[in-house]
Structure 1
Amino acid sequence: MKTLFNVYRVLALVVGVLLAVGTIGSILKYLLEDGSALQQVGDDLTPIWLIHGWIYMVYVAIAFVLTQKARWTMPQFLLMLVAGLIPGLIFWVERRVADRLRAEHPELVGS
């Protein structure tokens, strides 16, 4: 079960970073003057959203399995899902999930 926890943590980090980079790219792409160098950088970062989407789907599956193993309620699972859609929130939620798992289900964490 330790592997499931580690996979969740890595996926949360990757999803969070991709979401932050994608958001910055969108800001550069849509809020800056057309043709500027930074606007082009934002345009070049557009494929990040595709990568984020695919990895987010894996994150959702792993989060579901983890919440089932921990016997957590639907609101906890929904918080984990929403965290992958709001920039920055996933880092706080990942820490909260890790702390809660360590306290309630040390067998899932492997500590």
Structure 2
Amino acid sequence: MPAGPRPSDVPRLRTALKVYRVSAAITGTFLLLLVVMMVLRYGFKVDIELGGPFGFLALTPVGQITAINLSIVILTVHGWLYVLYLACDFVMWRLARYSFGRFLFIALGGIIPFLSYYFEFQVPRYITGRIQATTEADAAPAAKEVSA
């Protein structure tokens, strides 16, 4: 198993963890919107139109949209948010030095519905445990020097 985070990386790891939690929540929300959009598009052959002739928000048959295609917007925004989610996962992987398998498992949070909400609470618990282990291990030699 790889070693825990370096003591010098702990402040950056805590910042990355905060950004990760926000990105996990937002990415998960857009993933659910994406699932709804896919069901509408491929199940009912309609896209979500914003500001078209059928009203402010309407379900319009695919290929007949004249205004803003909200389905494409949801798809694009989720894609870029997933890139941010992966970047946060990568930074935490690099700083916390956990296994590559865990990195890949956390990466699934942006493509499996509801998993990012689960990881939003589980990953910080895991990272905080690794930070605690590092700070305790770093404090143990200092305590021995003081008592000697």
Structure 2 unaligned regions, length at least 5 = 1-11, 48-53, 63-68, 134-148
What SS is found at the alignment partner of 2:72? coil
1:62 is the counterpart of 2:88: yes
Q: Structure 1: how far apart are the matches of 2:31 and 2:61?
A: 16
Per the alignment, residue 7 of structure 2 pairs with: none
What is the Cα deviation at residue 52 of structure 1?
A: 0.8
Structure showing greater Rg: 2
**Any conservation in 2 of the 1:26–1:46 contact (CA below 8 Å)?**
no
Q: Structure 1: how far apart are the matches of 2:61 and 2:117?
A: 25
**TM-score calculated relative to the size of structure 1:** 0.81
Higher helix share: 1
What is the Cα deviation at residue 46 of structure 1?
A: 3.0
Give the aligned length: 106
Per the alignment, residue 15 of structure 1 pairs with: 27
Q: Structure 2: how far apart are the matches of 1:106 and 1:69?
A: 14
Per the alignment, residue 18 of structure 2 pairs with: 6
What SS is found at the alignment partner of 1:86? coil
Worse-superposed segment, 95-104 or 42-51: 42-51
> Aligned match of 1:78 in 97, 104, 120?
104
Higher strand share: 2
**Any conservation in 2 of the 1:67–1:77 contact (CA below 8 Å)?**
yes
**TM-score calculated relative to the size of structure 2:** 0.62
**Any conservation in 1 of the 2:40–2:46 contact (CA below 8 Å)?**
no
1:100 is the counterpart of 2:126: yes
Q: Which amino acid aligns with 2:103?
A: F
Segments ≥4 residues shifted beyond 6 Å: none
Per the alignment, residue 40 of structure 1 pairs with: 60
Question: Cα–Cα, structure 1 residues 78 and 34, in superposed 2: closer, same or farther, change >3 Å?
Answer: closer
**Overall identity of the aligned pairs, in %:** 27
